[in-house]
Amino acid sequence: MQLTVISSDKTQLIDITSQVQDKIKAQGVENGLCVLFVPHTTAGITINENADPAVASDMLNVLNTVIPWDLDYTHAEGNSPAHVKATVVGASETIIIENGKLELGTWQGIYFCEFDGPRTRRVLVKLLRDQ
Ligand code: ZN
């Protein structure tokens, strides 16, 4: 099972929480685990505040400042900072499902992290039911 995510900017955090929740509902999983995996080398996934959009833009600002595009990189494709950001953020998240809902904190959301867009991307979803 997978989600399709279409990014529109070079670097972008895209809230996919409701898409993931919809998959859980469609599959009828009441209790278990949701494993999300991004099969890309220049994108990632993270969980953070989605109440104030300034948090997402601040995170991108810090990543773009700490890992700039204009260092002396050697990777011929020219997108080394996107690879570095993907490693810093990570490629997967695991979230507990209780009573058909993601057990996220009040202010938490799931962000797909685009670091070399715009592109059409995939997020793999595996739902494991409690026995
Ligand atoms: Zn590359």
Give 28 Cα–ligand 1 centroid separation in angstroms: 38
Give 71 Cα–ligand 1 centroid separation in angstroms: 15
CA–CA separation, 49 vs 32, rounded Å?
23
pTM over 0.85: yes
Query: Tokens standing for 14?
Result: 């895209």
Domains of the chain: 2-129 (2.60.120.460)
CA–CA separation, 51 vs 107, rounded Å?
6
Give 68 Cα–ligand 1 centroid separation in angstroms: 15
Give 30 Cα–ligand 1 centroid separation in angstroms: 40
Give 35 Cα–ligand 1 centroid separation in angstroms: 26
The predicted structure's pLDDT at residue 131: 82
Question: Per-residue pLDDT for the chain (131 aa), expressed as one digit of tens each?
Answer: 999 999 999 999 999 999 999 999 999 999 999 999 999 999 999 999 999 999 999 999 999 999 999 999 999 999 999 999 999 999 999 999 999 999 999 999 999 999 999 999 999 999 999 98
Q: What share of the chain is helix, strand, coil (3-state, %, to 5)?
A: 25, 35, 35
The predicted structure's pLDDT at residue 112: 98
CA–CA separation, 115 vs 98, rounded Å?
32
Count of C-beta atoms within a 10 Å radius of residue 112: 24
> Which residues lie below 8 Å from residue 32, measured CB to CB, with a gap of 6+?
96, 97, 127, 128, 129, 130
